[in-house]
Structure 1
């Protein structure tokens, strides 16, 4: 294997100091043009690459950020990561990504690994177990010892740090109100998530909309399906024994699967049951019928979170902010047209 070209080797070739080679490669005005050109040409010919580990030790910066997400299979998080990576690349940062799979233990071990000088800061969307147990010591230790944290989407108010969220309460309120205005009165909410803050906020927004429009609340069609329970069985049971004319899927899977199950049981969408989903997945345009959804602008959320984190890395401050991303409802054919009086 060919030996790696180093600053020391280049310095010996030209009989100059390592500092001179370093300055020449950075195009410093302190080095003569003739020397700079020779050194730069030699480095290019011999495939010189800076030693990133040595540089990070010298500068005490890795130019790397960490990202921990609950899932990479969820298109919502894929889009968030796309936004994060775009900003990181633009700012000259590398990205280390870890999936917690919703587990507190995985989240903790990942953070303990990353805090040993591998990254300058961390972006995180909390695991379901972390929120359920309200255990945040590992996050507080990272902030104290390793660098800034920016939380996105699934956050906790118990950790003092920057956050990027959407207004989940008002999103759900507006989605429910939209269905009411199309004539729906028996609106179900369905989710495979239970113990996380965003779901609780969405449920509260849904309940408030029903209350404000004087629609009785039927707790039997608030369907939060726990781990280990069969999704299809739960939805079939609800449709067979409860009156339902609309379903709000609090995440993509719940919306799509609920629609498929309803159609398989003979319900027409949206004539019999309307469907709205949280997040705007690209494939919603190609389902039959295309699904009405709440666009949470996930790419923009990722970009915003990354910009805040890199700003904190480069200019540390103890002033924290919570940035709320605006959302909008994209109407497609899974909901009935608005009824105008």
Structure 2
């Protein structure tokens, strides 16, 4: 493998100053065309690339964004990441992505590592363990160092930063009202992410819809991520007479459909089902799942745009903002 050539080596071989070589590579008008051609020819011969660290030190920017996700197998986060990369790339930024797998310790470690690597800013969705522990000092340290942060989906009000969210409470209220409007009277609210802020907001929205209608009753099942959802949801369906399920996450809704089939219930004739996140489980379940789409790709684009706008247009008295992405109820075959 050919050894990487430096600016200093190019200058030595051409018998030019480092400054002249640098300006020639940028086609500076101060330099003669003859010299520019000589420099480019030698640079092309050696396949010269500028030292990224040196460039970043000079400009005080790396044009790199740190993205920290709680998981990646979830279709929602995969689509958000796709949106982030799209927007960042269009704006001339690269991303470095880390997956915490819902661990607080990993989240802290990745924040420290990326900050040490001098990323220009962060796009973050909190891990489940971080939300349970409510330990946020690693983010507050970033803010004290004036490192820009955009939180999305799983956010906290205890860290002052830009946020991009969906209106989970309103979305859940809309989904519950749809079940009520189609004649459902006994609704189960089931979640496998009960410890997360988004699930708590969705539960609030469902309850508000129920409170406005005395004829409708509600039962709840909240499952921890360490528990088996199949067995618990199956037993819950055996123990409760219901005509609808509002799954506060895609897994809860998909498993509810499977366990209903197992117990001999027809969907939606006996039990209507609505879930959250318009992912592969929703599209390929049988019957196809009515779901709340959070427009994950748009959310990712907005998160990246918010961060890059702040990075490219520095304001000394910058005011943090919260942007809300509207959801859509996509009606399929699991409801009337």
TM-score by length of 2: 0.95
Tell me the distance in 1 between the aligned counterparts of 2:225 and 2:79.
25
User: Is residue 2:302 matched to residue 1:304?
Assistant: yes
Query: Which blocks of at least 5 consecutive residues in structure 2 are unaligned?
Result: none
Match of 1:268 in 2: 266
User: Is residue 2:116 matched to residue 1:116?
Assistant: yes
SS of the residue corresponding to residue 319 of structure 1 reads coil
Any residues of structure 2 matched to 1:58-137 within 5 Å, and which? 58-137=58-137
The 8 Å contact of residues 152 and 164 in structure 1, kept in 2 or not, is answered as yes
Deviation, structure 1 residue 227: 3.6
Deviation, structure 1 residue 155: 0.3
The 8 Å contact of residues 5 and 46 in structure 2, kept in 1 or not, is answered as yes
Tell me the distance in 2 between the aligned counterparts of 1:23 and 1:14.
14
CA-to-aligned-CA distance 1:280-317 (integer Å, 9 cap, x gap):
11453332211111111100100100111112222233
Deviation, structure 1 residue 32: 1.9
User: Is residue 2:246 matched to residue 1:240?
Assistant: no
The 8 Å contact of residues 117 and 146 in structure 1, kept in 2 or not, is answered as no
User: Is residue 2:209 matched to residue 1:209?
Assistant: yes
Structure 1 runs (4+) deviating above 6 angstroms are none
Match of 2:220 in 1: 222
Tell me the distance in 1 between the aligned counterparts of 2:227 and 2:75.
23
Deviation, structure 1 residue 134: 1.7
Match of 2:253 in 1: 255
SS of the residue corresponding to residue 115 of structure 1 reads helix
The 8 Å contact of residues 82 and 297 in structure 2, kept in 1 or not, is answered as yes
Tell me the distance in 1 between the aligned counterparts of 2:37 and 2:196.
58
Deviation, structure 1 residue 26: 1.7
Match of 2:329 in 1: 329
CA-to-aligned-CA distance 1:65-100 (integer Å, 9 cap, x gap):
101111001010000000001111112212111111
Tell me the distance in 2 between the aligned counterparts of 1:300 and 1:37.
45
Tell me the distance in 2 between the aligned counterparts of 1:33 and 1:42.
14
Q: CA RMSD in A?
A: 1.5
Match of 1:339 in 2: none
SS of the residue corresponding to residue 334 of structure 1 reads coil
The 8 Å contact of residues 25 and 40 in structure 2, kept in 1 or not, is answered as yes
Tell me the distance in 1 between the aligned counterparts of 2:186 and 2:154.
29
Match of 2:291 in 1: 293
Deviation, structure 1 residue 275: 1.3
SS of the residue corresponding to residue 324 of structure 2 reads strand
The 8 Å contact of residues 191 and 247 in structure 2, kept in 1 or not, is answered as yes
SS of the residue corresponding to residue 98 of structure 2 reads strand
SS of the residue corresponding to residue 324 of structure 1 reads strand
SS of the residue corresponding to residue 299 of structure 2 reads helix
Tell me the distance in 2 between the aligned counterparts of 1:29 and 1:13.
22
Tell me the distance in 1 between the aligned counterparts of 2:215 and 2:117.
55
Deviation, structure 1 residue 174: 0.2
User: Is residue 2:226 matched to residue 1:197?
Assistant: no
The 8 Å contact of residues 8 and 18 in structure 1, kept in 2 or not, is answered as yes
TM-score by length of 1: 0.94
Deviation, structure 1 residue 146: 5.7
Match of 1:32 in 2: 32
